[in-house]
Amino acid sequence: MTARAPTVVVINAGSSSIKAAAYAEGPGALAAGALESAPRVDVQVDVAGDAFTATLEEVCDRLLEAVDPATVAAVGHRIVHGGTRYAAATVVTPQVQADLETLVPLAPLHQPYGLEGLRVAAARLPRALEVACFDTAFHRTCPPEAMRFALPRSLHEAGIQRYGFHGLSYESVVARMPTVCGGMPPRAIIAHLGAGASLCAIRDGRSIATTMGFTPLDGLVMATRCGSLDPGVILHLAEERGLSPAAIGTLLTRESGLLGVSGTSGDMRRLLESDDPRAHEAIDLFCYRAIREIGSLVAALGGLDAVVFTAGIGEHAPAIRSRIAGGLGWLGLTLDEHANTAAGPRISGAKSRVSAWVIPTDEQAVIAAATCRLLPTVRAGSVRG
């Protein structure tokens, strides 16, 4: 497929995969920032950390074989952490890039990859505008009490607070919910379950609470990340086990989660296929934590109308959806197992008091739309990188 006159290229550089897309400008798409119906070219590959830069370069080269680089007006990037400064899509300048570099310690599994995407794209498309789109921005609608730690005020004011992540995914799903669900459920929980996993409480289309906090380590059990942890464990590892900060960081981000509990894999597909009781333990813990955290978000919402599953596990693991939904029977949720096996989109039973859905996420479309919304301003000459 060859895309004619692409408007934007999107690079979504994650910790376990790289996704790239090129969107062609359609009638009204540029002004509206709505590109779901625009012609599109996609490239996606899994990636190992040591080969990241080479793989990213390969992905960009493959994408640019399908489009004319001279027609690319802008490149939109997924950047996981925007800190306190960046709450909306932003044209990347040297100052913006320097600011984002300072946030690498808060998202070591993600921020370096997004920034590498900026560098690789700039080398291949030096005349294109680069735009950073932030996973943290969606959660700026959360009330102050949902984003504060019980730490001294000076630390909060210095930026040590909850931010929340997976915002581009949540924004994508929220945009599709009115159509898929026949209207926007007033109180919903979206379960973004993948190598990284989190939950978000949505009231009237806006985030009011989420399970990830200061970094993408917090909350649910993930592929190699530990999720919520008593901070006393960190002190114990440092004081009694003699681990350095770097060693603790590696342990919590790359050696824990499903991989740490199972001892074999962080890949839910492999664990579901395994007969090893340790794999079953990892699955049990993953589901238990999700059910328990959903309960806390129900309390924050004051009730629940809908649960939506998305991302790799959420979209493709009916057994996990069934396990989690089974733990929510007290809310009146019942599954239609046939619909669940077929991945819905509606997977709840006809008499279920809470509806349940499977809605694929499309972070690339969200990034492309946000990037397009900035282009008229830039073309008018009021914003320059």
Mean predicted confidence (pLDDT) in 80-104: 92
Per-residue pLDDT band at 108 (split at 50, 70, 90):
confident
- Given 3.10.129.10, 3.40.50.720, 3.10.20.30, 3.30.420.40, which CATH number is that of 183-358? 3.30.420.40
Instruction: Burial-class residue 73 by CB neighbours within 10 Å (0-12, 13-18, 19+).
Output: buried
- Given 3.20.20.70, 3.20.20.10, 3.30.420.40, 3.60.20.10, which CATH number is that of 6-134? 3.30.420.40
Collapse the DSSP code of 349 into the 3-class scheme (helix H, G, I; strand E, B; otherwise coil) and give the result: coil
Position 22 scores a pLDDT of: 86
The reply to whether omega before 345 is within 30° of 0 (cis) is yes
Assess whether pLDDT exceeds 60 at residue 381: no
Per-residue pLDDT band at 379 (split at 50, 70, 90):
low
- Distance between CA 86 and CA 131 in Å, rounded? 12
Position 188 scores a pLDDT of: 98
DSSP 51: G
Assess whether pLDDT exceeds 70 at residue 193: yes
pLDDT digits (tens, 9 = 90+) for 61-80: 888 888 888 888 899 999 99
- Distance between CA 301 and CA 207 in Å, rounded? 10
Q: What is the mean pLDDT of the chain?
A: 89
Per-residue pLDDT band at 110 (split at 50, 70, 90):
confident
The mean-pLDDT minimum among 37-51, 120-134, 186-200, 363-377 falls in 37-51
Q: Which of 135, 218, 305, 362 is catalytic?
A: 135
Asked if 124 and 232 count as a contact pair (C-beta separation under 8 A), the reply is no
The mean-pLDDT minimum among 124-128, 222-226, 288-292, 344-348 falls in 124-128
**Domain 6-134 and domain 183-358 have a common topology:** yes
Assess whether pLDDT exceeds 90 at residue 375: no
Assess whether pLDDT exceeds 70 at residue 350: yes
Return the higher-pLDDT residue of 28 and 275.
275
Q: Which residues contact 158 (CB under 8 A, 6 or more apart)?
A: none
For 101, what's the count of Cα atoms within 13 Å in the CB-facing half-sphere?
Answer: 10
Q: Domain-by-domain residue ranges, the chain? A: 6-134, 183-358
The mean-pLDDT minimum among 17-31, 162-176, 222-236 falls in 17-31
Return the higher-pLDDT residue of 283 and 365.
283
pLDDT digits (tens, 9 = 90+) for 39-69: 566 777 666 556 778 888 888 888 888 888 8
- Residue 141 is encoded by which pair of tokens? 């609608």
pLDDT digits (tens, 9 = 90+) for 130-170: 999 999 999 999 999 999 999 999 999 999 999 999 999 99
The question of whether 135 is a catalytic residue gets the answer yes
In this prediction, what percent of the chain has a pLDDT beyond 70? 89
pLDDT digits (tens, 9 = 90+) for 4-18: 555 788 998 876 678
Position 47 scores a pLDDT of: 62
Position 90 scores a pLDDT of: 94
**Would you tell me how many other CB atoms lie within 10 Å of the CB of residue 292?**
12
**Longest pairwise C-alpha distance within the chain:** 63
